[in-house]
């Protein structure tokens, strides 16, 4: 290890010697200085010091191939599934805890930190929930102890109802909630898109299957419980139990589930347009497999199944290499290779594009295909020059003649290919966060090529763009007003909204309050949006399963799920809000023109309640208070439950 030394002086002198030497040096300017014994001694000390310094530097210099140990992480004897760097901010709270195992239900709307005693009003051992057939119900169990607990495991029973009705225990899933590193504390709001990573915090987010686990003393472990209610379940009340056992202690929790008569459709049939951008190369990189190999495609099937089961509708594809300014940890490659032949003509290879669309469709993502992008960052396009064998990058502004010439040629070829595949009608050309004038220029080139092309755009709301865009996703901070939304709907256009590295709320960061994820679906229902868009589904940073931080953005901004088809607290809460959106849409249709007066009254109450989610048109004037969001969602859930029962009487 290199040592850092302060700049040394050859020797240290007191004030009297300093003045004496200074006077002697003045007298030596014009004639040779006499060499005294004192001078010889000082010269000898100087030579010895210089020799020592040089020999020390040689000894401390790095050898060939040697690495500075200060730049390396500390070696660990075993693999760490998560980091455990945090400590309690209130150690006294642990001393007040009764010794032994504590198990209780917490709230899925909150996060619980690893080294903090949970702030529960009481240790609730009974979970009661209500849902439609086909719906997923979620709960969060908390396990904590002042002393260490070994071999913690869970065993769920079947859920039993009246007249031999039963929900098999296989429908109950338990997953460990793992902690990941964040660059902001829980519920942080004072930040922007650019981060410094000058601080780190542990946040519970990653969901992981388990058989048993150990609980260190003075720590807490959340466990995520999900029940997928069968679409064929008998309506009524069900009861079950959950046994929690440790090496020397145990506890029993009770499950009380009410299944309503209404049925939630399969996520594949949900109307909500969920558009989470995918990066298949990140999957290949994480698992160290060759992109588009059979091993890669097998991993993608599991990976995309999670997206499809949450209502994912858009397949993200790329006709441009690295369209997003090279800022992804693993760059998005192109799925359509552009080749300039030796004769100067162009040809296009769709083999990767076709493979990915087919694979995603088979996984259940089949509503839309987005091809990015006519306007990459810095207008940079890459192609393979057949004559030289080199990749060439050029900048083509959408206003340039070169852009128009190439894109007309490419669009003709792409259209023919999509028509042969039967994919043209559901394909969109995607443009993202570009200046208005460039977006208009590109859109005009596309529409002039064929009025049948569909365009999707994500960015600020611009009324000038509305008639050019078949699908418009506006950032929540600059969105259309209600009249503009209605005009788009009347024109047959779809409109969604998105969040990204801003605003702080509502959002899906690892440090966001989980209730914000569910709020996203309710906000869409309130304003009449068709869906929600987010970059990204899976643009993982270097060590995503343990460290969610990115060098540029807030932790969790660039991904919602984890490698291996593993979900997160954030993703499950987003899914809850989308399911609520579907239920609201179904209830709106069911009550339209219904003769049930009480049902119509409840629907009016629900619509009135939804209007509270809209807020001021000016985002800067809105206040997102987590307790108020939680309260509003709870009231909304109760209204849905009451309305559902009333319609089915």
Classify 521 as helix, strand or coil: helix
C-beta of residue 506 within 8 angstroms of C-beta of residue 516: yes
Per-residue three-class SS string for 627-638: HHHHHHHHHHHH
Tokens of residue 331, six digits: 């760059």
Tokens 């594009």 correspond to what residue?
Answer: 353
Q: Which CATH architecture has domain 273-542?
A: Alpha-Beta Barrel (3.20)
Between the CA of residue 92 and those of 96, 115, 250, 480, what are the distances in Å? 7, 12, 25, 51
DSSP string, 345-383: -EEEE-HHHHHHHHHHHHHT--SEEEEE-SS-GGGEEEE
Q: In this predicted structure, what is the pLDDT of residue 524?
A: 98
Kindly report the pTM of this predicted structure: 0.90
Euclidean distance between CA atoms 3 and 455, whole angstroms: 59
Euclidean distance between CA atoms 404 and 647, whole angstroms: 56
Q: What is the DSSP letter of 387?
A: T
Residue 350 phi, psi dihedral angles, 5° rounding: -100, 10
Query: Residues 34-59: pLDDT tens digits?
Result: 455 665 566 656 555 555 555 445 44
Percent of the chain with pLDDT over 70: 91
Query: Residues 602-617: pLDDT tens digits?
Result: 999 999 999 999 999 9
C-beta of residue 378 within 8 angstroms of C-beta of residue 384: no
Fold for domain 91-263?
Immunoglobulin-like (2.60.40)
Residue spans in the chain of domains classed CATH 3.20.20: 273-542
pLDDT for 595 beyond 80: yes
Whole-number average pLDDT of the chain = 92
Query: Residues 324-346: pLDDT tens digits?
Result: 988 899 999 999 999 999 999 99
Query: Residues 139-158: pLDDT tens digits?
Result: 999 999 999 999 999 999 99
Q: In this predicted structure, what is the pLDDT of residue 42?
A: 61
Residue spans in the chain of domains classed CATH 2.60.40.10: 91-263
For the segment 231-241, the average pLDDT, to the nearest whole number, is 98
Residue 20 banded pLDDT, cuts 50, 70, 90: very low
Q: In this predicted structure, what is the pLDDT of residue 76?
A: 85
Residue 360 banded pLDDT, cuts 50, 70, 90: very high
Tokens of residue 216, six digits: 């260190």
Which secondary-structure segment (H or E) carries 497?
strand 494-498
Q: In this predicted structure, what is the pLDDT of residue 349?
A: 98
Residue 205 phi, psi dihedral angles, 5° rounding: -155, -50
For the segment 629-643, the average pLDDT, to the nearest whole number, is 98
Q: In this predicted structure, what is the pLDDT of residue 593?
A: 80
C-beta of residue 168 within 8 angstroms of C-beta of residue 229: no
Percent of the chain with pLDDT over 90: 86
C-beta of residue 385 within 8 angstroms of C-beta of residue 340: yes
């Amino acid at each position: 290890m290199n040592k850092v030394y302060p700049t040394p002086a050859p020797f240290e002198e007191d004030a009297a010697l300093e003045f004496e030497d200074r006077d002697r040096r003045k007298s030596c300017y014009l004639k040779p200085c006499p060499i005294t014994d004192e001078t010889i001694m000082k010269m000898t000390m100087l030579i010895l010091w210089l020799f020592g310094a040089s020999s020390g530097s040689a000894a401390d210099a790095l050898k060939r191939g040697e690495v500075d140990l200060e730049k390396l992480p500390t070696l660990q004897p075993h693999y760490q599934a998560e980091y455990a760097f945090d400590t309690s901010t209130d150690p006294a709270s642990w001393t007040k805890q009764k010794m032994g195992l504590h198990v209780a239900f917490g709230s899925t709307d909150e996060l619980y930190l690893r080294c903090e005693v949970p702030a529960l009003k009481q240790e609730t051992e009974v979970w009661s929930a209500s849902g439609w057939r086909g719906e997923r119900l979620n709960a969060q169990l908390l396990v904590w102890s002042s002393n260490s607990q070994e071999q913690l495991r869970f065993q769920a029973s079947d859920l039993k109802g009246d007249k031999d009705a039963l929900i098999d225990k296989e429908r109950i899933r338990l997953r460990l909630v793992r902690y990941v590193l964040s660059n902001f504390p829980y519920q942080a709001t004072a930040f922007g898109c650019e981060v410094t990573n000058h601080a780190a915090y542990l946040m519970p987010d990653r969901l992981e299957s388990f058989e048993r686990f150990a609980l260190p003393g003075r720590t807490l472990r959340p466990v995520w419980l999900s029940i997928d209610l069968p679409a064929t379940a008998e309506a009524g009340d069900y009861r079950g139990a959950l046994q929690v056992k440790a090496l020397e202690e145990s506890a029993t929790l009770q499950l009380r589930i009410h299944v309503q008569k209404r049925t939630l459709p399969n996520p594949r049939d949900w109307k909500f347009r969920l558009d989470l951008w995918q990066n298949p190369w990140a999957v290949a990189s994480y698992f160290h497999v060759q992109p588009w190999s059979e091993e890669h495609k097998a991993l993608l099937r599991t990976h995309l199944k999670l997206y499809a089961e949450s209502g994912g509708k858009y397949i993200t594809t790329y006709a441009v290499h690295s369209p997003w300014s090279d800022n992804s940890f693993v760059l998005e490659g192109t799925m359509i290779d552009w080749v300039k032949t030796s004769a100067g003509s162009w040809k296009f290879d769709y083999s990767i594009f076709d493979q990915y669309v087919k694979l995603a469709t088979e996984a259940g993502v089949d509503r839309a295909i987005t091809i990015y992008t006519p306007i990459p960052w810095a207008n940079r396009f890459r192609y393979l020059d057949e004559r030289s064998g080199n990749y060439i990058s050029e900048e083509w502004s959408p206003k340039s003649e070169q852009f128009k010439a190439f894109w007309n040629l490419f669009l003709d070829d792409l259209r023919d290919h999509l028509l042969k595949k039967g994919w043209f009608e559901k394909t969109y050309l995607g443009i993202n966060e570009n200046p208005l004038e460039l977006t208009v220029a590109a859109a005009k080139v596309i529409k002039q090529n064929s009025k049948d092309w569909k365009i999707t755009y994500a960015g600020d709301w611009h009324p000038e763009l509305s008639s050019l865009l078949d699908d418009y996703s506006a950032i929540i901070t600059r969105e259309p007003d209600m009249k503009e939304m209605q005009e788009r709907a009347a024109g047959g256009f779809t409109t969604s909204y998105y969040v990204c590295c801003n605003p702080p709320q509502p959002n899906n960061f690892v440090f966001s309050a989980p209730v914000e994820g569910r709020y996203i679906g309710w906000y869409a229902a309130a304003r009449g949006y068709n869906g929600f868009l987010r970059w990204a589904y899976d643009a993982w940073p270097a060590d995503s399963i343990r460290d969610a931080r990115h060098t540029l953005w807030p932790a969790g901004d660039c991904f919602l799920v984890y490698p291996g088809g593993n979900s997160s607290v954030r993703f499950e809460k987003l899914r809850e809000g989308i399911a609520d959106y579907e239920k609201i849409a179904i209830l709106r249709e069911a009550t339209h023109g219904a003769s049930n007066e009480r049902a119509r009254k409840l629907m009016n109450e629900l619509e009135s309640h939804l209007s509270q989610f809209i807020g001021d048109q000016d985002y800067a004037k809105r206040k997102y208070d987590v307790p108020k969001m939680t309260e509003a969602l709870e009231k909304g859930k109760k209204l849905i439950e009451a309305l559902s029962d009333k319609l089915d009487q």
